[in-house]
Structure 1
Amino acid sequence: MKTTRILCLSLALTACARVDHLGRPPELTSPRETEEFMAMVNPPLDLPIGSGRPEAAASLWSGSTSALINDRRAAIRGDILTVVIEIDDRAEISNSSGRSRSSRESASIPQMMGIPQRLANKLPEGASFDELADASASSSYRGNGNISRRDKLTLRVAATVIDRLPNGSLHISGTQEVRVNHELRELTVSGFVRPGDIDRNNEIAYDRIAGARISYGGRGQISDVQQPRYGQQIADILLPY
């Protein structure tokens, strides 16, 4: 009984995620609740030379990373850069295996110092030492496997530097939400990049992000219809057939 109550409570809590768009579009996440916003409002303590100093306003030289011949690139906590995602992967794996075996064994004692002939009269009718044992066995196995997969995704998303690691690498994170009618599309990207891999347009390709985590999905009425009900998902896990 206690287990049933816990199961019902967990189902109720899980279903609450869909209540926010019951009869209306799903709510957008507030940008002020993200790690990117916290990185922008809490800059690092080691500010670049020249920034934030009173005498910098009267000087012709600016200590910022901007220059006359190139664009400013993300380098410190709170800076923004563009992540270019162009995934076009294809994987095909095919293998086959086969195995067969056949064996036959037979044994007979037609002559053995006259003993079989002496005992033949005592054997049941139809029994004989001429064909004492006869056995045969055979087995065969064949397996085939084929995997074919194609992934293609082309996106661009702005990410924010949320931390600068001791070795100089940048920890970036970016989110994007687009709502169309009652469906919300969500895109998230995070990982670690080297400042030198950021090009002059302040962009970086996804294949230069270490530990990249890219998620593209959505939530809303259409996504709910495409997913099996929670009861069906639980039944698929518990039922052994």
Structure 2
Amino acid sequence: MNRTNGRRALAIAALFVLAGCNTVERLTQVGQVPELKPIEDPRNEPGYRPVSLPVPPPGPSVSAGANSLWREGARGFFRDQRARRLGDVLTVNVTIADRANLSNETSRSRTNSDSLGLANVLGFEEMVTGFLPGDVVPDTMVDAESGMSNRGTGEVARSEDIDLNIAAVITQILPNGNLVVQGRQEIRVNYEVREIVVGGIVRPEDVTP
């Protein structure tokens, strides 16, 4: 029995030591700017799933000759510099205009009234008239009133404008040629880190050089 209690005490002490180490580590980070995450492959993140959409079947491919100046899939004589392959980087423009306004008002009122009479208390009610000023009415000897009123108002107004460019990586090419892109960027402002995540499907025609 003593050995069991000793093990429990040792386990509890170990938990307190671990909690204390965590507290000390957080205290050492006070006043320091928060760290940003390193660049990672978005396909390796937990919860990543490839996109699957209904698309028409691909058309017949035309192969170029051995000495042809045109490469397969090219749309012009010169090389297309726009991002279109897996791993290519796109620049996504993000514009956010956020407005929020919250107003709250609370009102509460309460009134209480108590009355107590001592009409007959073994004759002692007559003795009260000797040392109390004025006329004493035993039926309404004690009378009390109380009132309470509370009122509170609150208002919160917030506005935020964000206009920035985020680098997104092509993670998948659909059979119809559309590109699946994902990007993430962290912004550190006043010791606060904000993470902006973009993802979606882009048509190659919408990608500007």
TM-score for both structures, normalised by structure 2: 0.50
Normalized per residue, the structure richer in helix is 1
- Higher gyration radius (CA): 2
TM-score for both structures, normalised by structure 1: 0.45
